[in-house]
Amino acid sequence: MDGLRGLTADDPQWIGDYRLIGRLGSGGMGRVHLARSEGGRTVAVKLVKAELAAEEEFRDRFRAEVEAARRVGGRWTAPVLDADTEAAVPWVATGYIAGPTLSEVVGSAYGSAGSYGPLPEYALRRLAYGLSCALLDIHGVGLVHRDLKPSNVLLTIDGPRVIDFGIARALDAVGDQTQTRTGMVVGSPSFMSPEQVQGHRVGPASDVFCVGSVLAYAATGRAPFGSVASGVHAVMFKIAQEEPELADVPAGLRELIADCLAKDPAARPGPEEIAARLGPVPSGSAATPWLPAELIARLGQHAVRLLDTDTPPGGQPPTLTTTRVPTGPAPAPGATTEPRRRPRWLPLLATAVVAAAATAGAVSLLGGGGAEDSASEIPARFVGTWSGPVLRDGAPTGQQRRFVITNGKVGEVVANSTSLGATYECRSDGTLVSLTAHDGRPALRLDTKVVRSIPAGRCAALGEHILEAGSAGTLKWAAAGRTATLHRAGPAEERVPAGYLGTWQRPDADGHGSRRMTIKQAPAGSTVLTTVVVGPGLRCTAHADLYAAVDGKLTVGPPVADPAAPGCAPGGTSILRLNDDGTLHREFLGDDKQPRTYSRAE
Protein backbone atom coordinates (compact mmCIF):
# COMPACT_ATOMS: atom_id res chain seq x y z
CA MET A 1 0.00 0.00 0.00
CA ASP A 2 2.94 2.36 0.51
CA GLY A 3 3.40 2.45 -3.26
CA LEU A 4 -0.28 2.99 -4.14
CA ARG A 5 -0.79 5.84 -6.59
CA GLY A 6 -3.90 7.33 -8.09
CA LEU A 7 -5.31 6.33 -11.44
CA THR A 8 -4.38 8.39 -14.49
CA ALA A 9 -6.32 9.29 -17.60
CA ASP A 10 -4.68 6.30 -19.33
CA ASP A 11 -6.06 3.82 -16.80
CA PRO A 12 -9.44 2.12 -17.30
CA GLN A 13 -12.01 2.29 -14.50
CA TRP A 14 -12.74 -1.43 -14.82
CA ILE A 15 -10.79 -4.52 -15.89
CA GLY A 16 -13.17 -7.42 -16.32
CA ASP A 17 -15.43 -7.45 -13.27
CA TYR A 18 -12.90 -5.58 -11.14
CA ARG A 19 -13.17 -1.88 -10.31
CA LEU A 20 -9.78 -0.21 -10.16
CA ILE A 21 -8.73 1.72 -7.04
CA GLY A 22 -5.17 2.77 -7.90
CA ARG A 23 -1.81 1.79 -9.36
CA LEU A 24 0.52 -0.45 -7.39
CA GLY A 25 3.39 -0.35 -9.86
CA SER A 26 4.71 -1.51 -13.22
CA GLY A 27 7.33 -3.92 -14.48
CA GLY A 28 8.50 -5.99 -17.40
CA MET A 29 5.06 -7.52 -17.93
CA GLY A 30 2.91 -4.41 -17.59
CA ARG A 31 0.97 -2.43 -14.99
CA VAL A 32 -0.35 -3.66 -11.67
CA HIS A 33 -3.53 -2.16 -10.21
CA LEU A 34 -5.29 -2.46 -6.89
CA ALA A 35 -8.94 -3.34 -7.51
CA ARG A 36 -12.07 -4.72 -5.90
CA SER A 37 -14.50 -7.31 -7.15
CA GLU A 38 -18.21 -6.63 -7.17
CA GLY A 39 -18.41 -8.79 -4.04
CA GLY A 40 -15.92 -6.53 -2.27
CA ARG A 41 -12.78 -8.67 -2.43
CA THR A 42 -9.54 -6.72 -2.85
CA VAL A 43 -7.31 -8.02 -5.65
CA ALA A 44 -4.18 -7.14 -7.60
CA VAL A 45 -4.87 -7.00 -11.36
CA LYS A 46 -1.89 -7.28 -13.69
CA LEU A 47 -2.43 -5.87 -17.16
CA VAL A 48 -0.04 -7.12 -19.84
CA LYS A 49 1.81 -4.63 -22.03
CA ALA A 50 0.19 -4.14 -25.43
CA GLU A 51 3.40 -5.01 -27.29
CA LEU A 52 3.61 -8.33 -25.43
CA ALA A 53 -0.05 -9.09 -26.15
CA ALA A 54 0.71 -8.74 -29.86
CA GLU A 55 3.24 -11.60 -29.65
CA GLU A 56 1.32 -14.82 -30.27
CA GLU A 57 4.11 -16.91 -28.76
CA PHE A 58 3.90 -14.90 -25.54
CA ARG A 59 0.11 -15.18 -25.49
CA ASP A 60 0.28 -18.97 -25.88
CA ARG A 61 2.78 -19.27 -23.06
CA PHE A 62 0.91 -16.78 -20.89
CA ARG A 63 -2.29 -18.78 -21.35
CA ALA A 64 -0.57 -21.99 -20.23
CA GLU A 65 1.20 -20.33 -17.30
CA VAL A 66 -1.97 -18.73 -15.96
CA GLU A 67 -3.79 -22.06 -16.18
CA ALA A 68 -1.00 -23.75 -14.23
CA ALA A 69 -0.77 -20.91 -11.70
CA ARG A 70 -4.49 -21.31 -10.93
CA ARG A 71 -3.66 -24.71 -9.46
CA VAL A 72 -1.08 -23.44 -7.00
CA GLY A 73 -2.64 -23.77 -3.57
CA GLY A 74 -1.43 -23.29 -0.05
CA ARG A 75 -1.03 -20.37 2.31
CA TRP A 76 2.39 -19.17 1.13
CA THR A 77 1.44 -17.69 -2.24
CA ALA A 78 -1.02 -15.17 -3.65
CA PRO A 79 -3.83 -17.21 -5.28
CA VAL A 80 -4.72 -16.64 -8.94
CA LEU A 81 -8.44 -15.78 -8.84
CA ASP A 82 -9.37 -14.79 -12.37
CA ALA A 83 -7.88 -14.04 -15.78
CA ASP A 84 -8.74 -13.22 -19.37
CA THR A 85 -5.95 -14.53 -21.55
CA GLU A 86 -7.98 -13.95 -24.72
CA ALA A 87 -8.66 -10.24 -24.19
CA ALA A 88 -7.08 -7.70 -26.55
CA VAL A 89 -4.85 -6.83 -23.59
CA PRO A 90 -4.65 -9.96 -21.38
CA TRP A 91 -4.84 -9.67 -17.60
CA VAL A 92 -4.68 -11.81 -14.49
CA ALA A 93 -6.14 -11.11 -11.03
CA THR A 94 -4.54 -12.46 -7.85
CA GLY A 95 -5.44 -12.15 -4.20
CA TYR A 96 -4.09 -8.90 -2.80
CA ILE A 97 -1.76 -9.27 0.16
CA ALA A 98 -1.84 -6.33 2.58
CA GLY A 99 1.82 -6.19 3.43
CA PRO A 100 5.06 -4.54 2.29
CA THR A 101 7.62 -6.22 0.09
CA LEU A 102 10.80 -7.58 1.58
CA SER A 103 12.72 -4.97 -0.42
CA GLU A 104 10.65 -2.19 1.18
CA VAL A 105 11.28 -3.55 4.66
CA VAL A 106 15.01 -4.23 4.33
CA GLY A 107 15.44 -1.30 2.01
CA SER A 108 19.13 -0.42 2.04
CA ALA A 109 19.89 -1.86 -1.38
CA TYR A 110 16.85 -0.17 -2.87
CA GLY A 111 16.94 3.17 -1.08
CA SER A 112 13.48 2.73 0.43
CA ALA A 113 12.54 5.51 2.82
CA GLY A 114 11.61 4.40 6.31
CA SER A 115 12.92 0.87 5.87
CA TYR A 116 13.53 -1.37 8.88
CA GLY A 117 16.82 -2.94 7.78
CA PRO A 118 18.09 -6.54 8.02
CA LEU A 119 15.82 -9.00 9.82
CA PRO A 120 16.78 -10.78 13.05
CA GLU A 121 17.64 -14.48 12.92
CA TYR A 122 14.29 -15.72 14.28
CA ALA A 123 12.49 -13.80 11.51
CA LEU A 124 14.95 -15.11 8.89
CA ARG A 125 14.15 -18.68 9.92
CA ARG A 126 10.42 -18.06 9.49
CA LEU A 127 11.12 -16.38 6.15
CA ALA A 128 13.21 -19.34 4.97
CA TYR A 129 10.52 -21.80 6.05
CA GLY A 130 7.77 -19.87 4.27
CA LEU A 131 9.79 -19.55 1.05
CA SER A 132 10.57 -23.28 1.02
CA CYS A 133 6.88 -24.11 1.52
CA ALA A 134 5.93 -21.71 -1.30
CA LEU A 135 8.37 -23.48 -3.62
CA LEU A 136 6.81 -26.83 -2.72
CA ASP A 137 3.42 -25.47 -3.79
CA ILE A 138 4.76 -23.85 -6.98
CA HIS A 139 7.00 -26.73 -8.07
CA GLY A 140 4.25 -29.19 -7.17
CA VAL A 141 2.18 -28.10 -10.18
CA GLY A 142 5.15 -28.08 -12.55
CA LEU A 143 5.94 -24.36 -12.39
CA VAL A 144 9.30 -22.68 -11.85
CA HIS A 145 9.11 -19.14 -10.48
CA ARG A 146 12.21 -17.86 -12.35
CA ASP A 147 12.07 -14.37 -10.80
CA LEU A 148 12.14 -14.88 -7.04
CA LYS A 149 13.48 -11.63 -5.58
CA PRO A 150 12.79 -9.37 -2.57
CA SER A 151 10.11 -7.37 -4.39
CA ASN A 152 8.22 -10.62 -5.11
CA VAL A 153 8.13 -11.59 -1.42
CA LEU A 154 5.47 -9.89 0.69
CA LEU A 155 5.45 -9.92 4.48
CA THR A 156 2.22 -10.56 6.39
CA ILE A 157 1.52 -10.98 10.08
CA ASP A 158 1.60 -14.79 9.85
CA GLY A 159 4.44 -15.24 7.39
CA PRO A 160 5.84 -14.41 3.94
CA ARG A 161 3.92 -14.76 0.67
CA VAL A 162 5.39 -15.27 -2.81
CA ILE A 163 3.82 -13.55 -5.82
CA ASP A 164 4.24 -13.53 -9.62
CA PHE A 165 5.09 -17.23 -9.99
CA GLY A 166 5.03 -18.54 -13.56
CA ILE A 167 4.85 -15.14 -15.30
CA ALA A 168 8.58 -14.91 -16.03
CA ARG A 169 8.38 -18.10 -18.05
CA ALA A 170 5.78 -16.52 -20.32
CA LEU A 171 8.08 -13.53 -20.78
CA ASP A 172 10.84 -15.93 -21.85
CA ALA A 173 8.72 -16.92 -24.84
CA VAL A 174 9.49 -13.59 -26.53
CA GLY A 175 12.53 -12.62 -24.48
CA ASP A 176 14.97 -12.47 -27.40
CA GLN A 177 12.67 -10.30 -29.49
CA THR A 178 11.29 -8.14 -26.70
CA GLN A 179 14.58 -7.44 -24.97
CA THR A 180 15.86 -5.57 -28.01
CA ARG A 181 12.63 -3.68 -28.48
CA THR A 182 11.86 -2.68 -24.90
CA GLY A 183 15.00 -3.34 -22.87
CA MET A 184 13.16 -5.94 -20.81
CA VAL A 185 15.27 -8.54 -19.02
CA VAL A 186 13.57 -11.71 -17.76
CA GLY A 187 14.68 -11.98 -14.17
CA SER A 188 16.47 -9.52 -11.86
CA PRO A 189 20.26 -9.58 -12.31
CA SER A 190 21.23 -9.48 -8.61
CA PHE A 191 18.88 -12.38 -7.84
CA MET A 192 19.41 -14.64 -10.85
CA SER A 193 20.85 -18.14 -10.69
CA PRO A 194 24.03 -19.21 -12.56
CA GLU A 195 21.81 -21.12 -15.01
CA GLN A 196 19.94 -17.95 -15.87
CA VAL A 197 22.94 -15.71 -16.36
CA GLN A 198 24.64 -18.36 -18.52
CA GLY A 199 21.55 -19.04 -20.62
CA HIS A 200 21.22 -22.69 -19.56
CA ARG A 201 18.08 -24.67 -18.87
CA VAL A 202 16.27 -23.36 -15.77
CA GLY A 203 14.62 -25.82 -13.39
CA PRO A 204 13.33 -25.91 -9.81
CA ALA A 205 16.89 -25.75 -8.41
CA SER A 206 17.20 -22.26 -9.90
CA ASP A 207 14.48 -21.07 -7.52
CA VAL A 208 16.42 -22.57 -4.59
CA PHE A 209 19.47 -20.49 -5.57
CA CYS A 210 17.26 -17.40 -5.64
CA VAL A 211 15.94 -18.27 -2.17
CA GLY A 212 19.55 -18.27 -0.97
CA SER A 213 20.11 -14.81 -2.46
CA VAL A 214 16.86 -13.47 -0.97
CA LEU A 215 17.74 -14.81 2.50
CA ALA A 216 21.25 -13.35 2.31
CA TYR A 217 19.75 -9.99 1.36
CA ALA A 218 17.21 -10.16 4.19
CA ALA A 219 20.00 -10.98 6.65
CA THR A 220 22.47 -8.29 5.57
CA GLY A 221 20.65 -5.68 3.52
CA ARG A 222 22.88 -6.49 0.53
CA ALA A 223 22.60 -8.86 -2.41
CA PRO A 224 25.27 -11.58 -1.95
CA PHE A 225 26.85 -10.95 -5.36
CA GLY A 226 26.70 -7.18 -5.33
CA SER A 227 24.37 -4.46 -6.57
CA VAL A 228 23.64 -3.69 -10.22
CA ALA A 229 24.99 -0.23 -9.44
CA SER A 230 28.42 -1.76 -9.99
CA GLY A 231 27.34 -2.99 -13.42
CA VAL A 232 24.97 -5.72 -14.57
CA HIS A 233 27.68 -7.78 -16.25
CA ALA A 234 29.90 -7.61 -13.17
CA VAL A 235 27.08 -8.98 -11.02
CA MET A 236 26.34 -11.76 -13.50
CA PHE A 237 30.02 -12.73 -13.61
CA LYS A 238 30.12 -12.98 -9.81
CA ILE A 239 26.98 -15.12 -9.76
CA ALA A 240 28.48 -17.53 -12.29
CA GLN A 241 32.10 -17.61 -11.05
CA GLU A 242 32.61 -16.19 -7.55
CA GLU A 243 31.55 -17.09 -4.03
CA PRO A 244 28.79 -15.09 -2.28
CA GLU A 245 29.53 -12.59 0.46
CA LEU A 246 27.98 -14.13 3.58
CA ALA A 247 30.22 -12.88 6.39
CA ASP A 248 27.40 -10.85 7.99
CA VAL A 249 24.80 -13.63 7.79
CA PRO A 250 23.93 -15.08 11.23
CA ALA A 251 26.08 -18.15 11.89
CA GLY A 252 23.03 -20.36 12.45
CA LEU A 253 21.89 -19.85 8.84
CA ARG A 254 25.17 -19.30 6.99
CA GLU A 255 25.75 -22.92 5.99
CA LEU A 256 22.17 -23.42 4.75
CA ILE A 257 22.26 -20.24 2.65
CA ALA A 258 25.69 -21.18 1.25
CA ASP A 259 24.33 -24.60 0.22
CA CYS A 260 21.39 -22.93 -1.55
CA LEU A 261 23.92 -20.78 -3.45
CA ALA A 262 25.93 -23.74 -4.79
CA LYS A 263 26.93 -23.23 -8.43
CA ASP A 264 25.92 -26.81 -9.30
CA PRO A 265 22.10 -27.12 -9.28
CA ALA A 266 22.34 -30.77 -8.24
CA ALA A 267 24.27 -29.78 -5.07
CA ARG A 268 21.54 -27.46 -3.78
CA PRO A 269 19.05 -28.68 -1.18
CA GLY A 270 15.45 -29.17 -2.22
CA PRO A 271 12.65 -27.19 -0.57
CA GLU A 272 11.81 -30.17 1.65
CA GLU A 273 15.41 -30.35 2.90
CA ILE A 274 15.48 -26.60 3.57
CA ALA A 275 12.38 -26.88 5.76
CA ALA A 276 13.77 -29.94 7.56
CA ARG A 277 17.15 -28.32 8.25
CA LEU A 278 15.51 -25.28 9.81
CA GLY A 279 14.12 -27.44 12.61
CA PRO A 280 11.06 -26.32 14.59
CA VAL A 281 10.02 -22.88 13.35
CA PRO A 282 7.59 -20.69 15.34
CA SER A 283 4.29 -20.58 13.46
CA GLY A 284 3.63 -16.88 14.06
CA SER A 285 1.01 -16.28 16.72
CA ALA A 286 -0.01 -13.92 19.47
CA ALA A 287 2.54 -15.56 21.75
CA THR A 288 5.39 -15.83 19.23
CA PRO A 289 5.16 -13.15 16.52
CA TRP A 290 7.66 -13.78 13.74
CA LEU A 291 8.51 -10.12 13.11
CA PRO A 292 9.71 -7.31 15.40
CA ALA A 293 6.93 -5.21 16.97
CA GLU A 294 7.79 -2.20 14.78
CA LEU A 295 7.08 -4.23 11.65
CA ILE A 296 3.90 -5.74 13.14
CA ALA A 297 2.65 -2.17 13.64
CA ARG A 298 3.45 -1.34 10.02
CA LEU A 299 1.50 -4.37 8.81
CA GLY A 300 -1.48 -3.20 10.82
CA GLN A 301 -1.27 0.21 9.16
CA HIS A 302 -1.28 -1.54 5.76
CA ALA A 303 -4.49 -3.33 6.68
CA VAL A 304 -6.15 -0.13 7.88
CA ARG A 305 -5.32 1.73 4.68
CA LEU A 306 -6.56 -1.18 2.58
CA LEU A 307 -9.91 -1.25 4.39
CA ASP A 308 -10.45 2.48 3.98
CA THR A 309 -9.06 3.25 0.53
CA ASP A 310 -11.14 4.10 -2.53
CA THR A 311 -10.97 6.11 -5.74
CA PRO A 312 -13.33 9.07 -6.27
CA PRO A 313 -15.07 9.45 -9.65
CA GLY A 314 -12.89 10.85 -12.41
CA GLY A 315 -9.76 8.87 -11.57
CA GLN A 316 -8.45 11.20 -8.87
CA PRO A 317 -5.83 10.03 -6.36
CA PRO A 318 -7.12 7.63 -3.68
CA THR A 319 -8.55 9.04 -0.49
CA LEU A 320 -9.20 7.58 2.93
CA THR A 321 -12.85 8.56 3.31
CA THR A 322 -15.69 6.78 1.53
CA THR A 323 -15.80 3.27 0.10
CA ARG A 324 -17.98 2.89 -3.01
CA VAL A 325 -19.29 -0.52 -3.95
CA PRO A 326 -20.15 -1.10 -7.64
CA THR A 327 -23.72 -2.30 -8.08
CA GLY A 328 -23.94 -2.54 -11.86
CA PRO A 329 -22.06 -1.85 -15.08
CA ALA A 330 -19.12 0.55 -15.08
CA PRO A 331 -20.26 4.20 -15.32
CA ALA A 332 -19.82 6.07 -18.53
CA PRO A 333 -16.84 8.43 -18.80
CA GLY A 334 -17.50 11.53 -16.75
CA ALA A 335 -20.43 10.00 -14.90
CA THR A 336 -20.58 10.19 -11.11
CA THR A 337 -21.23 7.36 -8.75
CA GLU A 338 -23.32 7.87 -5.62
CA PRO A 339 -21.22 6.83 -2.64
CA ARG A 340 -22.56 4.08 -0.43
CA ARG A 341 -22.11 4.50 3.32
CA ARG A 342 -19.51 2.18 4.75
CA PRO A 343 -20.81 -0.62 6.97
CA ARG A 344 -20.41 0.19 10.68
CA TRP A 345 -18.03 -2.73 11.14
CA LEU A 346 -15.45 -1.24 8.76
CA PRO A 347 -14.10 1.57 10.99
CA LEU A 348 -14.47 -0.71 14.01
CA LEU A 349 -12.35 -3.36 12.33
CA ALA A 350 -9.80 -0.73 11.31
CA THR A 351 -9.55 0.39 14.93
CA ALA A 352 -9.11 -3.22 16.02
CA VAL A 353 -6.31 -3.74 13.50
CA VAL A 354 -4.47 -0.67 14.80
CA ALA A 355 -4.77 -2.00 18.32
CA ALA A 356 -3.60 -5.42 17.18
CA ALA A 357 -0.59 -3.93 15.46
CA ALA A 358 0.39 -1.78 18.43
CA THR A 359 1.50 -4.82 20.43
CA ALA A 360 2.62 -8.21 19.21
CA GLY A 361 0.39 -9.86 21.79
CA ALA A 362 -2.77 -8.71 19.98
CA VAL A 363 -1.98 -10.28 16.61
CA SER A 364 -4.68 -12.91 17.18
CA LEU A 365 -7.35 -10.26 16.48
CA LEU A 366 -6.61 -10.85 12.80
CA GLY A 367 -7.35 -14.55 13.12
CA GLY A 368 -3.77 -15.61 12.40
CA GLY A 369 -3.99 -14.87 8.69
CA GLY A 370 -3.25 -12.16 6.18
CA ALA A 371 -5.84 -9.85 4.66
CA GLU A 372 -6.53 -12.20 1.78
CA ASP A 373 -7.26 -15.06 4.18
CA SER A 374 -9.83 -13.06 6.12
CA ALA A 375 -11.61 -12.26 2.85
CA SER A 376 -11.94 -15.93 1.94
CA GLU A 377 -15.01 -18.00 2.65
CA ILE A 378 -13.33 -21.30 1.79
CA PRO A 379 -11.96 -23.15 4.84
CA ALA A 380 -8.25 -23.87 4.41
CA ARG A 381 -8.98 -27.58 4.80
CA PHE A 382 -10.72 -27.59 1.39
CA VAL A 383 -8.01 -25.79 -0.58
CA GLY A 384 -5.80 -27.96 -2.78
CA THR A 385 -6.00 -30.72 -5.38
CA TRP A 386 -8.25 -33.75 -4.79
CA SER A 387 -9.11 -36.86 -6.81
CA GLY A 388 -10.89 -40.19 -6.54
CA PRO A 389 -12.99 -42.84 -8.37
CA VAL A 390 -16.66 -42.10 -9.07
CA LEU A 391 -19.54 -44.29 -7.89
CA ARG A 392 -23.15 -44.32 -9.04
CA ASP A 393 -25.66 -45.85 -6.65
CA GLY A 394 -22.67 -47.29 -4.80
CA ALA A 395 -21.24 -49.10 -7.83
CA PRO A 396 -17.96 -48.16 -9.57
CA THR A 397 -18.39 -46.37 -12.89
CA GLY A 398 -14.79 -46.50 -14.10
CA GLN A 399 -14.72 -42.70 -14.09
CA GLN A 400 -12.32 -40.46 -12.16
CA ARG A 401 -13.11 -37.04 -10.69
CA ARG A 402 -10.51 -34.39 -9.88
CA PHE A 403 -11.01 -31.01 -8.15
CA VAL A 404 -8.62 -28.09 -7.77
CA ILE A 405 -10.06 -25.81 -5.08
CA THR A 406 -8.75 -22.31 -4.40
CA ASN A 407 -9.58 -19.52 -1.96
CA GLY A 408 -12.59 -17.41 -2.84
CA LYS A 409 -15.97 -15.99 -1.92
CA VAL A 410 -19.60 -16.58 -2.81
CA GLY A 411 -20.12 -15.65 -6.46
CA GLU A 412 -16.50 -16.38 -7.45
CA VAL A 413 -15.06 -19.37 -9.32
CA VAL A 414 -13.32 -21.39 -6.62
CA ALA A 415 -13.02 -24.85 -8.20
CA ASN A 416 -11.91 -26.44 -11.46
CA SER A 417 -12.99 -30.04 -11.91
CA THR A 418 -12.10 -32.76 -14.39
CA SER A 419 -14.22 -35.83 -15.08
CA LEU A 420 -12.32 -38.57 -16.91
CA GLY A 421 -13.89 -41.59 -18.56
CA ALA A 422 -12.63 -44.19 -21.01
CA THR A 423 -13.63 -42.13 -24.06
CA TYR A 424 -14.14 -38.59 -22.78
CA GLU A 425 -12.78 -35.79 -20.63
CA CYS A 426 -14.90 -32.98 -19.18
CA ARG A 427 -13.69 -29.84 -17.45
CA SER A 428 -15.87 -27.47 -15.48
CA ASP A 429 -15.54 -24.29 -13.47
CA GLY A 430 -17.39 -24.21 -10.16
CA THR A 431 -18.81 -20.97 -8.73
CA LEU A 432 -19.34 -20.94 -4.97
CA VAL A 433 -23.07 -20.68 -4.23
CA SER A 434 -22.95 -21.13 -0.48
CA LEU A 435 -20.91 -22.47 2.39
CA THR A 436 -23.33 -24.43 4.50
CA ALA A 437 -23.12 -26.77 7.46
CA HIS A 438 -24.28 -30.35 6.99
CA ASP A 439 -24.15 -32.91 9.81
CA GLY A 440 -21.87 -30.54 11.69
CA ARG A 441 -19.36 -30.28 8.85
CA PRO A 442 -18.80 -27.43 6.39
CA ALA A 443 -19.88 -28.02 2.79
CA LEU A 444 -19.23 -26.18 -0.44
CA ARG A 445 -22.13 -25.86 -2.86
CA LEU A 446 -21.01 -25.14 -6.40
CA ASP A 447 -22.81 -24.10 -9.57
CA THR A 448 -20.76 -25.59 -12.42
CA LYS A 449 -20.24 -24.67 -16.04
CA VAL A 450 -18.57 -26.86 -18.65
CA VAL A 451 -15.52 -25.13 -20.10
CA ARG A 452 -14.08 -28.00 -22.17
CA SER A 453 -15.55 -31.16 -23.65
CA ILE A 454 -13.66 -33.99 -25.38
CA PRO A 455 -15.25 -34.99 -27.67
CA ALA A 456 -17.23 -31.80 -28.30
CA GLY A 457 -20.78 -31.88 -26.96
CA ARG A 458 -20.20 -34.92 -24.75
CA CYS A 459 -20.18 -33.22 -21.34
CA ALA A 460 -22.89 -31.90 -19.01
CA ALA A 461 -22.45 -29.84 -15.83
CA LEU A 462 -24.59 -32.19 -13.63
CA GLY A 463 -26.24 -29.31 -11.77
CA GLU A 464 -25.24 -28.50 -8.20
CA HIS A 465 -22.08 -30.09 -6.80
CA ILE A 466 -21.61 -30.56 -3.05
CA LEU A 467 -18.22 -31.02 -1.39
CA GLU A 468 -18.13 -31.96 2.28
CA ALA A 469 -15.28 -32.56 4.70
CA GLY A 470 -14.91 -36.31 5.12
CA SER A 471 -13.04 -38.47 7.57
CA ALA A 472 -9.26 -38.98 7.61
CA GLY A 473 -8.62 -35.80 5.65
CA THR A 474 -10.83 -36.66 2.66
CA LEU A 475 -13.57 -34.77 0.83
CA LYS A 476 -16.93 -36.25 -0.10
CA TRP A 477 -18.32 -35.20 -3.48
CA ALA A 478 -21.88 -35.64 -4.74
CA ALA A 479 -23.72 -34.52 -7.89
CA ALA A 480 -26.63 -35.96 -9.90
CA GLY A 481 -26.56 -39.32 -8.10
CA ARG A 482 -22.82 -39.70 -8.43
CA THR A 483 -20.45 -39.73 -5.45
CA ALA A 484 -16.73 -39.97 -4.78
CA THR A 485 -14.37 -39.98 -1.83
CA LEU A 486 -11.61 -37.60 -2.81
CA HIS A 487 -8.08 -37.81 -1.45
CA ARG A 488 -5.58 -34.96 -1.49
CA ALA A 489 -3.18 -35.29 -4.42
CA GLY A 490 0.52 -35.11 -3.66
CA PRO A 491 3.06 -33.15 -5.73
CA ALA A 492 4.27 -36.34 -7.45
CA GLU A 493 0.82 -36.82 -9.03
CA GLU A 494 1.05 -33.42 -10.70
CA ARG A 495 4.03 -34.03 -12.97
CA VAL A 496 5.59 -36.59 -15.31
CA PRO A 497 8.42 -38.73 -13.86
CA ALA A 498 11.72 -38.11 -15.65
CA GLY A 499 11.94 -41.63 -17.07
CA TYR A 500 8.96 -41.02 -19.36
CA LEU A 501 10.29 -37.87 -20.99
CA GLY A 502 11.45 -38.00 -24.61
CA THR A 503 10.29 -39.55 -27.88
CA TRP A 504 9.08 -43.13 -28.29
CA GLN A 505 8.18 -45.04 -31.47
CA ARG A 506 6.76 -48.28 -32.79
CA PRO A 507 5.95 -49.59 -36.31
CA ASP A 508 2.36 -50.28 -37.32
CA ALA A 509 1.34 -53.93 -37.46
CA ASP A 510 1.22 -53.90 -41.28
CA GLY A 511 4.71 -52.44 -41.49
CA HIS A 512 3.59 -49.57 -43.74
CA GLY A 513 3.51 -46.81 -41.15
CA SER A 514 4.76 -45.73 -37.77
CA ARG A 515 3.65 -44.07 -34.57
CA ARG A 516 5.75 -41.67 -32.52
CA MET A 517 4.93 -40.34 -29.08
CA THR A 518 6.70 -37.38 -27.52
CA ILE A 519 6.25 -36.89 -23.79
CA LYS A 520 7.21 -33.58 -22.19
CA GLN A 521 7.09 -32.11 -18.71
CA ALA A 522 3.98 -30.10 -17.85
CA PRO A 523 1.60 -29.88 -14.87
CA ALA A 524 -1.53 -31.99 -14.58
CA GLY A 525 -4.26 -30.62 -16.82
CA SER A 526 -1.76 -29.50 -19.48
CA THR A 527 -0.59 -31.18 -22.68
CA VAL A 528 2.17 -33.71 -22.06
CA LEU A 529 1.74 -36.20 -24.92
CA THR A 530 1.92 -35.61 -28.66
CA THR A 531 1.29 -38.58 -30.98
CA VAL A 532 2.15 -38.55 -34.69
CA VAL A 533 0.77 -41.36 -36.87
CA VAL A 534 2.22 -41.67 -40.35
CA GLY A 535 0.89 -44.03 -43.00
CA PRO A 536 0.09 -44.23 -46.71
CA GLY A 537 -1.67 -40.95 -47.46
CA LEU A 538 -2.08 -40.16 -43.75
CA ARG A 539 -0.34 -38.00 -41.22
CA CYS A 540 -2.26 -37.49 -37.99
CA THR A 541 -1.05 -35.42 -35.04
CA ALA A 542 -2.92 -35.44 -31.73
CA HIS A 543 -2.30 -34.10 -28.23
CA ALA A 544 -3.34 -35.42 -24.82
CA ASP A 545 -3.29 -33.87 -21.33
CA LEU A 546 -1.92 -35.36 -18.12
CA TYR A 547 -4.59 -36.40 -15.66
CA ALA A 548 -2.34 -37.82 -12.97
CA ALA A 549 0.85 -39.78 -12.29
CA VAL A 550 0.04 -42.42 -9.66
CA ASP A 551 1.75 -45.68 -8.68
CA GLY A 552 4.36 -45.36 -11.40
CA LYS A 553 1.75 -44.97 -14.15
CA LEU A 554 0.67 -42.01 -16.25
CA THR A 555 -3.00 -41.44 -16.98
CA VAL A 556 -3.59 -39.16 -19.98
CA GLY A 557 -6.92 -38.02 -21.35
CA PRO A 558 -8.39 -38.63 -24.80
CA PRO A 559 -6.24 -37.19 -27.60
CA VAL A 560 -7.37 -34.13 -29.53
CA ALA A 561 -6.35 -34.15 -33.20
CA ASP A 562 -5.05 -31.07 -34.97
CA PRO A 563 -7.85 -29.49 -37.06
CA ALA A 564 -5.55 -29.57 -40.09
CA ALA A 565 -5.36 -33.36 -39.94
CA PRO A 566 -8.78 -34.67 -41.10
CA GLY A 567 -9.43 -38.37 -40.94
CA CYS A 568 -7.71 -38.99 -37.60
CA ALA A 569 -9.50 -41.73 -35.70
CA PRO A 570 -10.67 -40.63 -32.23
CA GLY A 571 -8.89 -42.21 -29.29
CA GLY A 572 -9.60 -42.67 -25.62
CA THR A 573 -8.00 -42.30 -22.23
CA SER A 574 -4.76 -44.24 -21.97
CA ILE A 575 -2.44 -45.57 -19.28
CA LEU A 576 1.32 -45.55 -19.78
CA ARG A 577 3.95 -47.30 -17.70
CA LEU A 578 7.64 -48.15 -18.06
CA ASN A 579 8.62 -51.78 -18.54
CA ASP A 580 11.66 -53.36 -16.89
CA ASP A 581 13.42 -53.68 -20.27
CA GLY A 582 13.26 -49.91 -20.88
CA THR A 583 10.30 -49.98 -23.27
CA LEU A 584 7.03 -48.10 -22.77
CA HIS A 585 3.69 -49.87 -22.34
CA ARG A 586 0.50 -48.10 -23.47
CA GLU A 587 -3.04 -49.36 -23.15
CA PHE A 588 -6.38 -47.65 -23.74
CA LEU A 589 -9.20 -47.90 -21.21
CA GLY A 590 -12.16 -49.87 -22.50
CA ASP A 591 -10.12 -51.18 -25.46
CA ASP A 592 -9.79 -54.96 -25.80
CA LYS A 593 -6.83 -54.67 -28.17
CA GLN A 594 -3.41 -55.78 -27.06
CA PRO A 595 -1.34 -53.13 -25.28
CA ARG A 596 1.10 -51.23 -27.45
CA THR A 597 4.84 -51.31 -26.75
CA TYR A 598 7.07 -48.40 -27.71
CA SER A 599 10.86 -48.14 -27.81
CA ARG A 600 12.93 -45.00 -27.42
CA ALA A 601 13.46 -43.20 -30.70
CA GLU A 602 17.06 -42.90 -31.85
- In the annotation, is 147 catalytic? yes
Write down the catalytic residue from 137, 147, 164, 172: 147
**Residue 352, SS3?**
helix
CA dist., res. 520 & res. 556, Å (int):
12
Please check whether residue 578 is in contact with residue 584, taking contact to mean a CB–CB distance below 8 angstroms: yes
Residue 420 bridge partners (DSSP) = 400, 425
Question: Phi/psi class of residue 486: alpha, beta or left (left: φ > 0; alpha: ψ in -120 to 50)?
Answer: beta
The angle at the Cα of 456, spanning 455 to 461, to the nearest 5 degrees, equals 100
In three-state secondary structure terms, 553 is strand
Mention every residue, 6+ apart, whose C-beta is less than 8 A from residue 234: 226
Q: Pick the closest to residue 104 from 186, 218, 6, 212 (CA basis).
A: 218
Q: How do beta strands 464-469 and 441-454 pair?
A: antiparallel
Q: How many residues does the chain have?
A: 602
Check residue 135 and give left, alpha or beta (phi > 0: left; psi -120 to 50: alpha).
Answer: alpha
Say what the alpha-carbon torsion angle 493, 61, 26, 165 is, to the nearest 10 degrees. Answer: 10
Instruction: Kindly give the residue spans of alpha helices, DSSP state H, lying in 140-288.
Output: 167-172, 175-182, 194-197, 204-220, 232-241, 251-260, 271-278
CA atoms of 90 and 93, how far apart (whole Å)? 11
The span from the CA of 295 to the CA of 478, in Å, is 46
Which residues does the annotation mark as catalytic? 147
